[in-house]
Structure 1
């Protein structure tokens, strides 16, 4: 709807006002960016401090690591980092994958920020209290089911406080208009919510050539299969039962020998042909995160309700469940090797 496009435009304007990264040192710099503006940005860099998680198997830690890595490649920005408090006290939430900070990022003790810095906090429970010396505070927040996120850190101002102004200018930072709507339901004025969709690195997620892709598929045991990939926690909002039931219909229509039982899948108009002309048996890969969500058990529980039944794991199975934590490079390889991505989420 046109109304939504207008709201997105307004939200982007709020984002630019809240956090302007002046200049850039990369080849993708706009052609009309004047050299004197670049020089000015170097003389007066933006002090930007990230208060985030490291060493946790959590999406917020991934967001923080990706953001600081991208900003470290820009000129006109002086970056620092401090480790935010984590509510997860046991070892199962520790990350098995190390993501070092870029060398030009200064690491400070928790709670300490450079005087006059813009602070971006990416952690949970949400804390709207600005650190001493901060010029501005942006708190990364996400809302599911178009509802207000429930948990605020002890001692933090409430969501509604943002409507009345705060001693340090404070805004929320969220990655989608859907999430923005949920945060607005908390009583947060829309002009206090900055919209900044997640980006993706085209260098890391570029398609592979045919030979590389074939090697990776062979290594994973995906040869001769049409691979549907789903990445998610397996929590109720991911709607695994609907996804599995839909996949069971596809798998049953193709048959174990790759033959077409019902005149094709997807209403008879589609074909499962990742390579060559032979129709391939479908495989659904459920990539979860066992350490944080116990996703494998959730997937197996959802499978019990599926008819016709689906086989799990093994060389000729219908469904493959992966619960291990993988590096960003390994995840990119998985996306590159699959034939289609599939999601049935009812809320994100």
Structure 2
């Protein structure tokens, strides 16, 4: 199969991260002849090196750009805004996308340059590829043709994302200077929809009763300006006393780290926490589970697809429609007391943490490696072509 991927590489934006991992796996498929067209970055994003290993980045650079005359079995678009316009390379078009707010929000529709998202999809021949059942429902809510929406989850590389043996983990924690602390970790843009406000509010209470608790926030200052979201949350949702307690036990990492360095954060942490308000998949939760780290996350959203009670605590959350940027968007409202209880449980329940270390990583290796999810992707690419009579033969 000749496959052309149109998307982003060499930045830490989530679509680019997914694209790069999928491309690396597709390169292992002898039955896939792979091409890649780099699409323009949004805003003032700058390409960076060192996010993946030198060997992986070299592999990504070896993927040829498709000649203008090339005809392929499929085109896969991995970028924003969503683009359903016909491809010159193939009638079979698959567009990757996520919905976080229960629908395709107006800003995305405006960036697409259309007035009705659902009508545009229904009038196209494109298949939507998305990563969770929650996200799929958002596309349906926006009027997309449900028969042309496929769910293929994201994955992990188990050779990189795995638990460390006890002595190696303790040595890592010593190097990081956290051996006597209980580390809650969150890796995200720190945008309000990621749950920074309920997280800081709950942590202010937890650290008062558990002074060994520390909160590590991994954001991206260059790409997202993450620090401004944290500062706003500190100033607007905490009392002066709560703010002082949190700041004394808070660490922020804003610089770009390699994926291997982020994995070390997962491996060193005692718990991963994500009380999100809106998400399309939430890959860091899956990566943390693969590394043997127990997770705390919002109940009812996309993480329901890949979390179980043996290694995850789901925080009770109310679904509410709220006006944002002049439109109604669907948000989760995590219950603060449920969040505090989850954080205290994971601190106090050593058996839960030890079981999560084994059961979570085993679950991910069985179900959510990039190898397995790209198997699903390839099947979707083939099956979605069945209705085309003029598919280019291999």
The equivalent of 1:334 in structure 2 is 265
Q: Is the 8 A contact 1:296 1:322 kept in 2?
A: no
Q: How do residues 222-233 of structure 1 correspond to structure 2 at under 5 angstroms?
A: 222-233=178-189
Q: Is the 8 A contact 1:142 1:175 kept in 2?
A: yes
Distance 1:147-1:104 versus aligned 2 partners, 3 A rule: closer
- 1:140 CA drift (Å): 0.7
Q: Is the 8 A contact 1:69 1:101 kept in 2?
A: no
Q: How do residues 249-260 of structure 1 correspond to structure 2 at under 5 angstroms?
A: 249-255=205-211
| Alignment equivalent of 2:243, drawn from 285, 288, 309 | 309
- 1:221 CA drift (Å): 1.7
* 2:202 pairs with 1:293: no
The equivalent of 1:68 in structure 2 is 23
Q: How many residue pairs end up in the alignment?
A: 269
For residues 161-215 of structure 1, give each alpha carbon's deviation from its aligned partner in whole angstroms, at most 9, with x where no partner exists: 3223x3xx31111111111111112210111111111111221111111222122
The equivalent of 1:160 in structure 2 is 119
Tell me the distance in 1 between the aligned counterparts of 2:46 and 2:80: 14
Q: Is the 8 A contact 1:160 1:186 kept in 2?
A: no
Using the size of structure 2 for normalisation, the TM-score is 0.63
- Structure 1, unmatched stretches of 5+, are 1-45, 256-280
| Alignment equivalent of 1:238, drawn from 194, 201, 218 | 194
Q: How do residues 85-100 of structure 1 correspond to structure 2 at under 5 angstroms?
A: 85-88=40-43, 90=44, 93-97=46-50, 99=52, 100=57
- 1:154 CA drift (Å): 5.5
- Structure 2, unmatched stretches of 5+, are 280-394
Q: Is the 8 A contact 1:57 1:291 kept in 2?
A: no
Tell me the distance in 2 between the aligned counterparts of 1:311 and 1:155: 47
Q: Is the 8 A contact 2:51 2:259 kept in 1?
A: no
Distance 1:284-1:112 versus aligned 2 partners, 3 A rule: farther
Structure with the higher fraction of residues in helix conformation: 2
RCO comparison, higher one (Cα < 8 Å, 6+): 2
Provide the secondary structure at the position in 2 that maps to 1:107.
Answer: coil
Using the size of structure 1 for normalisation, the TM-score is 0.71
Distance 1:98-1:233 versus aligned 2 partners, 3 A rule: closer
The equivalent of 1:211 in structure 2 is 167
Q: Is the 8 A contact 1:146 1:182 kept in 2?
A: yes
- 1:108 CA drift (Å): 1.0
The equivalent of 1:49 in structure 2 is 4
* 2:36 pairs with 1:81: yes
The equivalent of 2:298 in structure 1 is none
Distance 1:98-1:254 versus aligned 2 partners, 3 A rule: closer
Provide the secondary structure at the position in 2 that maps to 1:181.
Answer: helix
Q: Is the 8 A contact 1:52 1:61 kept in 2?
A: yes
* 2:87 pairs with 1:128: no
Provide the secondary structure at the position in 1 that maps to 2:274.
Answer: coil
Provide the secondary structure at the position in 2 that maps to 1:347.
Answer: coil
Is 223-232 or 129-138 further displaced after alignment?
Answer: 129-138
